């Protein structure tokens, strides 16, 4: 049996939460390995909606859930999410939910800095979720971060906070903002510490035990390959590596324990925030996709930008993250369109190219080249077998497989947990 890594193949919000929840039925453990509460993963179970940001989607089924060292953790957001889920009857315990001791914290200084940078009016913003994700990762790499385990020792924590604020207060002075008082921050951290410390433990060891016992691990990625800090549309990206390789570094397993990478792709494309988007539709069709797909962000409520499926980008994601099979989601949103388009290449300066260029200037100048498809009569909504799909919907999926050079392992046809068509079980391996 294989361990499965789930990653988004576009710009996030591909439906990872639904697919992870569906697959977690077959898994023993579910682990997050990057990102933080910038993620918004929605699950619908028998009409009840669960929204997860920091906690792995496996918590809803009561699976052992791990938050790896690669995740950045806002302890206040963690406590709030836990409370909210308890209200819905989901009650993780320190036995079923473990947070890595060596994960870095997101603090109010990070949120403030994210907010300050994003409030510029010179058109140079990223359109972040303003959760402090970027600044927290900056401090981690800058070796100034407060880590989860530091909350267990007030004296050590005080030293770390002094070091951190030495840096941040200089920045705040530059921005003309009031400085942070180290004693106040330490007091606030000591107050929240009891909410998080009971859940803290060696995640790498839990995973090692699971591997040795031949248990099945599901690694839940956040964001998507095109938001990866290296492989994405830099600088319009998040501040972590979102590619599947990060599942190993961000949780403490070796790469040989990642046996199948499942890339999640929407049957069209969306993006939240700024940045290039070659197939974006600002017309009625884009509007219709947004309405039918209910494309509003889970985290910020922002309207998502919509456009046609971009086979060039997904194909490139298949390569850069190493996708073994794709879960194609939201096919039902395309019901009722008379005509559909898929981007199969770009024109740049009169030349045809088949890869997404790195230069931002080139990215903005790309003209998509489309292949046109006839839409389908009838509905795919809620379909649970191939036989239920209209012939043109099958053609659309088969052509996407050809264009991206990768098999569709799963197809999702509604937000509901069980509305999935399984072609190839990722837990059976490549
Ligand atoms: P994630 O961030 O990748 O987990 O995706 P989000 O949860 O942010 O966004 C996906 C949205 O689409 C959620 O509201 C899901 O409930 C919904 N969804 C997932 N799969 C399907 C599907 O196959 N069809 C439809 N119509 N909605 C879906
Ligand atoms: P899930 O896991 C879609 C986007 C933000 C912004 C950029 C940087 O639900 O797919 P950040 O706050 O991370 O510094 O913002 O990344 N972004 C997402 N877009 N889905 C997400 O997560 C996202 N997480 C961050 O909109 O453009
Ligand atoms: Mg989301």
- Regarding the beta carbon of 58 and ligand 1, being less than 6 Å apart is answered no
Q: Choosing from 13, 112, 150, 419, which is the catalytic residue?
A: 13
> Which residues on adjacent β-strands are paired with residue 368?
346
Ramachandran angles phi, psi of 228, nearest 5°: -65, 140
Q: Is the pLDDT of residue 1 over 90?
A: no
Tens-digit pLDDT profile for residues 68-79: 999 999 999 999
Tens-digit pLDDT profile for residues 213-263: 999 999 999 999 999 999 999 999 999 999 999 999 999 999 999 999 999
- Regarding the beta carbon of 139 and ligand 2, being less than 6 Å apart is answered no
Angle at 211 between CA 206 and CA 217, to 5 degrees: 80
The CATH number assigned to the domain with range 104-196 reads 1.10.300.10
> For atom 16 of ligand 1, which residue has the closest CA?
415
Share of the chain above pLDDT 90, in %: 96
Give the sign of the dihedral formed by CA 190, CA 191, CA 193, CA 198: positive
Q: Choosing from 41, 110, 168, 231, which is the catalytic residue?
A: 41
Rounded distance between C-alpha atoms, residue 71 and residue 68, angstroms: 6
Ligand number nearest CA of 129 is 2
Known catalytic membership, residue 121 = no
- The reported pLDDT for the residue numbered 352 is 96
| Best residue for ligand 2 mutational test, from 11, 18, 38 (most atoms within 8 Å of Cβ) | 38
- Regarding the beta carbon of 8 and ligand 1, being less than 6 Å apart is answered yes
Ramachandran angles phi, psi of 13, nearest 5°: 60, 30
Q: Which of 13, 21, 23 is nearest to 325 (CA)?
A: 23
- The reported pLDDT for the residue numbered 91 is 95
Known catalytic membership, residue 41 = yes
Domain spans, the chain? 4-100+199-260, 104-196, 265-428
- The reported pLDDT for the residue numbered 317 is 98
> For atom 2 of ligand 1, which residue has the closest CA?
13
- Regarding the beta carbon of 272 and ligand 2, being less than 6 Å apart is answered yes
Ligand number nearest CA of 420 is 1
Q: Of the CATH numbers 3.90.170.10, 3.40.50.300, 3.40.50.720, 3.10.450.50, which one belongs to the domain with range 265-428? A: 3.90.170.10
- The reported pLDDT for the residue numbered 299 is 78
- Regarding the beta carbon of 131 and ligand 2, being less than 6 Å apart is answered yes
Tens-digit pLDDT profile for residues 11-36: 999 999 999 999 999 999 999 999 99
Q: Is the pLDDT of residue 298 over 80?
A: no
Tens-digit pLDDT profile for residues 383-402: 999 999 999 999 999 999 99
Rounded distance between C-alpha atoms, residue 379 and residue 230, angstroms: 39
- The reported pLDDT for the residue numbered 72 is 98
Ligand number nearest CA of 291 is 1
Atom index in ligand 1 nearest the CA of residue 8 equals 3
- Regarding the beta carbon of 233 and ligand 2, being less than 6 Å apart is answered no
Atom index in ligand 2 nearest the CA of residue 129 equals 12
User: Distance from the CA of 16 to the center of ligand 3, in angstroms?
Assistant: 8
- The CATH fold of domain 4-100+199-260: Adenylosuccinate Synthetase; Chain A, domain 1 (3.40.440)
User: Distance from the CA of 272 to the center of ligand 3, in angstroms?
Assistant: 10
pLDDT band at 301 (very low <50, low <70, confident <90, very high): confident
Rounded distance between C-alpha atoms, residue 295 and residue 301, angstroms: 9
- Regarding the beta carbon of 38 and ligand 1, being less than 6 Å apart is answered no
Q: Which of 343, 322, 330 is nearest to 410 (CA)?
A: 330
Rounded distance between C-alpha atoms, residue 327 and residue 429, angstroms: 15
- Regarding the beta carbon of 276 and ligand 2, being less than 6 Å apart is answered no
> For atom 28 of ligand 1, which residue has the closest CA?
415
Helices (H), 6-132: 16-24, 75-87, 108-118
> For atom 6 of ligand 1, which residue has the closest CA?
13
Atom index in ligand 2 nearest the CA of residue 40 equals 9
- The torsion region of residue 20 among left (phi > 0), alpha (psi -120 to 50) and beta comes to alpha
Mean pLDDT, range 370-389, rounded to an integer: 96
Provide the b/e sequence for 207-224 (b: ≥16 CB within 10 Å). beebbeeeebbbbbbbbb
Mean pLDDT, range 200-210, rounded to an integer: 98
- The reported pLDDT for the residue numbered 189 is 98
How many CB atoms sit inside 10 A of residue 47's CB? Answer: 7
Mean pLDDT, range 290-299, rounded to an integer: 90
Provide the b/e sequence for 272-296 (b: ≥16 CB within 10 Å). bbbbbbbbbbeeebbeebbebbebe
User: Distance from the CA of 13 to the center of ligand 3, in angstroms?
Assistant: 4
Provide the b/e sequence for 103-120 (b: ≥16 CB within 10 Å). bbbbbebbbbbbebbbee
């Amino acid at each position: 049996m294989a361990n499965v890594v789930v990653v988004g193949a576009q710009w996030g919000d591909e439906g990872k939460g639904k697919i992870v929840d569906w697959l977690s039925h077959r898994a023993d453990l579910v682990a997050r390995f990057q990102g933080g509460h910038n993620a918004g993963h929605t699950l619908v179970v028998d009409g009840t909606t669960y929204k997860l940001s920091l906690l792995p989607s496996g918590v809803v089924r009561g699976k052992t859930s791990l938050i790896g060292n690669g995740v950045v953790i806002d302890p206040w957001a963690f406590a709030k999410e836990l409370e909210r889920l308890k209200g819905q009857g989901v009650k993780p315990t320190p036995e079923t939910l473990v947070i890595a001791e060596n994960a870095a914290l997101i603090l109010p200084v990070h949120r403030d800095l994210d907010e300050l940078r994003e409030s510029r009016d010179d058109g140079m913003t990223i359109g972040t979720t303003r959760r402090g994700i970027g600044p927290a990762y900056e401090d981690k790499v800058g070796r100034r971060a407060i880590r989860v385990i530091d909350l267990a020792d007030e004296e050590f924590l005080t030293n770390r906070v002094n070091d951190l604020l030495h840096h941040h207060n200089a920045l705040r002075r530059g921005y003309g903002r009031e400085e942070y008082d180290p004693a106040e921050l330490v007091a606030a951290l000591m107050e929240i510490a009891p909410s998080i410390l009971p859940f803290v433990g060696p995640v790498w060891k839990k995973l090692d035990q699971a591997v040795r016992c031949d248990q099945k691990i599901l690694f839940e990625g956040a964001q998507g390959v095109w938001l990866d800090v290296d492989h994405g549309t830099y600088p319009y990206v998040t501040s972590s590596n979102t590619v599947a390789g990060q599942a190993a570094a961000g949780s403490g397993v070796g790469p040989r324990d990642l046996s199948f990478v499942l890339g999640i792709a929407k049957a069209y494309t969306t993006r939240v925030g700024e940045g290039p988007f070659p197939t974006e539709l600002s017309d009625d069709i884009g509007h219709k996709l947004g309405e039918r797909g209910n494309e509003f962000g889970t985290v910020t409520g922002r309207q998502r930008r919509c456009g046609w499926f971009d086979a060039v980008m997904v194909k490139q994601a298949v390569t850069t993250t190493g996708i073994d099979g794709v879960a194609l989601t939201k096919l039902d949103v395309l019901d009722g369109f008379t005509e559909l388009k898929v981007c199969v290449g770009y024109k740049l300066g009169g030349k045809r190219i088949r890869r997404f260029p790195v230069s931002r200037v080139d990215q903005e100048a790309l003209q998509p080249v489309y292949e046109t498809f006839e839409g389908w009569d009838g509905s795919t909504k809620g379909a649970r077998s191939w036989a239920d799909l209209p012939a043109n919907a099958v053609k659309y999926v088969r052509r996407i497989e050809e264009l991206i050079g990768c098999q569709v392992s799963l197809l999702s046809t509604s937000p509901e947990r069980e509305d999935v068509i399984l072609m190839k079980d990722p837990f059976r391996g490549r």
